Amino acid sequence: MPLSHRDYGSARVLAPRGRLDHATCEAFQADLAPHLDACTQEGSALVLDLSGLEYVSSAGLRCLMIAAKQAGSRKGRILVASMQPVVAEIVQISRFNLVLEVFRTTREALASVSPQATEAFDRN
Amino acid sequence: MRVRFWGTRGSLPVGLTAADIRDKLARALLAASGQRFDSYGEAHAFALRALPFSLTHTFGGHTSCVELETGHDEYFVCDMGSGARAFGAHVLARQAGRPATVNVFMSHMHWDHIMGFPFFGPAYVPRNRIRIHGCHELLERAFRLQQSAPCFPVAFEQLGAGIEFVALKPDQPFEVSGLKVTPQLQRHSGDSYGYRFETAGRSVVYSTDSEHKLEDRSETERFVSLFRGADLVIFDAMYSLAEAISVKADWGHSSNVVGVELCQMAQAKHLVLFHHEPANNDAAIETALKDARRLEELTRGAQALRVSAAYDGLEIDL
C-alpha cells in the first residue's frame, strides 16, 4: 500500500490509499513501522489521513488499533482523520470510534496535536 | 428443515425486570400517542407494524439451545443451556407418552451450555433415549459432575432415560439418523466445537463460543470452508468488534462484524447473530443487528446475505 507522507511541525501526516483488509494489512504494518519509529523517537504524532482509503475490514481495523497501542506505549499518538463515508460508517459500526482517536478533518487532527502543526498545515 | 431457537443468550440467563417492562410500555405509549384503537386487534396490528422489535418483543434470556427439526422422528439439538427446559417440555408434549430419541450436539461444557440438562424432562422418562455427542474427552464427566452433591439434588444415575455419550472427531463427518454432522475445533477456553449439519440439500452451521484471530489467515480459511454456501450460520456475536479484539480479547467470543465478513467470504445465505451478551438489553441487541445489516449492505458483493438476530422462540424454515 503506497504511504505518502508530509510533516507539519511535530506531526507527520500519512495517507494510505485503497483497501485495508486481510490481503493488505501486513504490508501496511510494514510500511507504517518506520514512520511509527521516527515519530515515537521524536515524541511527535502520526495523523492518518484516510481520505484515500476506500474500505477497511476487521483485520484492517485491528492493524490500526495495534499501531495506536504501539504508539501509545512509546508516548506517541496515532490519530485518524478525513475518512470517506463508507469507512467512517464501518468504524462506527465496529465501535472503533471508541478505540481510535477519530477526527472529521486532517486539520482538526493536527489542531489537537499542536498550534504549530495547524499553522504549518495552513501555510501549505 | 426447521431451526428453532430455545435459548439464545450467552454466559448467563437473563430475564426482563419490572423496570424493563415499564420502559417498554412507556415508549410504546409514546409512539402510539395520537392514535385511536377500537379493538385489541387494531392495537396489536399497530404494535407489530409501527413499533420496533425491541419494544414489542424481547430477545429472551435462556442460554444456548437450538433445535434442528429435520422431518425425522428423532430430535436434534445443539447444546443444553437453560433453553433445554422449554425444549424438553416441547418434546414431551409432542411425544404424548411415546418414547423419544434426542440427539444432542455439544459445543463445549461450560456451564451455560449444560445448565439446562438437569431440567430436561425427557431425561427423567424411562424408555427415552438421549445420545450426547461431542469432541471433548471430559464430556460425560461434566454432565455427571453438575448432577452431583452439593450442586443438584437428583444424581445423574437416577435419570430414567437411557443416556449414552458419543465421541466425535473434529473434521470427520458423522451420520446420525439421516443428518450429516461435521465438527470443527474453535478457539475458546478449554476448546469448543462448531458443527456443520447437512440433510436433504440444506446446511446449517452452529458456531458459538468461538473467537476469531483476524491475523490468522489459515484459521479464517478454515471457517470460510465450514460456512461455505450454508443456508444458515448461527454465529457468536457477543461483543462489538472493538471489544472482541481489545478489552475482551482472549475471552473466546466474536462480533457481528466478523460474522458478516466470514459469511460474505463463504457466500453463506443467512447469518443469525447468537449468544447475546447478558449485559445488553433488547435495544442494544437490536442496534447490533441494524449495524450488521448496514455493514452487509455497505460491503455486499454479488450475493446478498440475510442477517437476523436470534431470539428465544425464533423459528427459521430452510
Per-residue pLDDT, averaged over B190-198, amounts to 98
B165 vs B118: CA distance, rounded Å:
16
Cβ-based contacts of B243 with chain A (< 8 Å): 95
* C-alpha pair distances (Å), B53 with each of A36, B282, B293, B311, B313: 46, 8, 15, 11, 14
B262 vs B246: CA distance, rounded Å:
20
Per-residue pLDDT, averaged over B174-187, amounts to 97
Measured between CB atoms, does B249 come within 8 Å of chain A? no
pLDDT in tens, B111-153: 999 999 999 999 999 999 999 999 999 999 999 999 999 999 9
Q: Which domain range does residue B150 map to?
A: 2-14+57-308
B224 within a domain of the structure (yes/no)? yes
Q: Do B240 and A95 count as a contact with CB atoms less than 8 A apart?
A: yes
B44 within a domain of the structure (yes/no)? no
pLDDT in tens, B32-50: 999 999 999 999 999 999 9
Query: ipTM of this predicted complex?
Result: 0.91
B49 within a domain of the structure (yes/no)? no
The count of structural domains within chain B is 1
Query: Is a pLDDT exceeding 80 seen at residue B304?
Result: yes
pLDDT at B74: 98
A23 vs A32: CA distance, rounded Å:
16
pLDDT in tens, B158-177: 999 999 999 999 999 999 99
Asked if B66 and B194 count as a contact pair (C-beta separation under 8 A), the reply is no
B190 within a domain of the structure (yes/no)? yes
Per-residue pLDDT, averaged over B231-246, amounts to 96
pLDDT at A43: 72
Backbone angles phi, psi at B108, to 5 degrees: -175, 180
CATH of the domain at B228: 3.60.15.10
pLDDT in tens, A4-17: 889 999 899 999 99
CATH topology for A3-115 is: Transcription Regulator spoIIAA (3.30.750)
Residue-range domain boundaries for chain A: 3-115
pLDDT at A15: 95
B318 within a domain of the structure (yes/no)? no
| Residue A111, burial from CB neighbour count under 10 angstroms (0-12, 13-18, 19+) | middle
B18 vs B174: CA distance, rounded Å:
46
How close, in Å, is residue B288 to chain A by CA atoms?
8
Instruction: Extract the residue ranges of chain A whose pLDDT is less than 70.
Output: 1-2
Collapsing DSSP to helix, strand or coil, A80 comes out as strand
Cβ-based contacts of B246 with chain A (< 8 Å): 65, 99
Reported as a pLDDT band with limits 50, 70 and 90, residue B87 is very high
B155 within a domain of the structure (yes/no)? yes
pLDDT at A4: 83
B47 within a domain of the structure (yes/no)? no
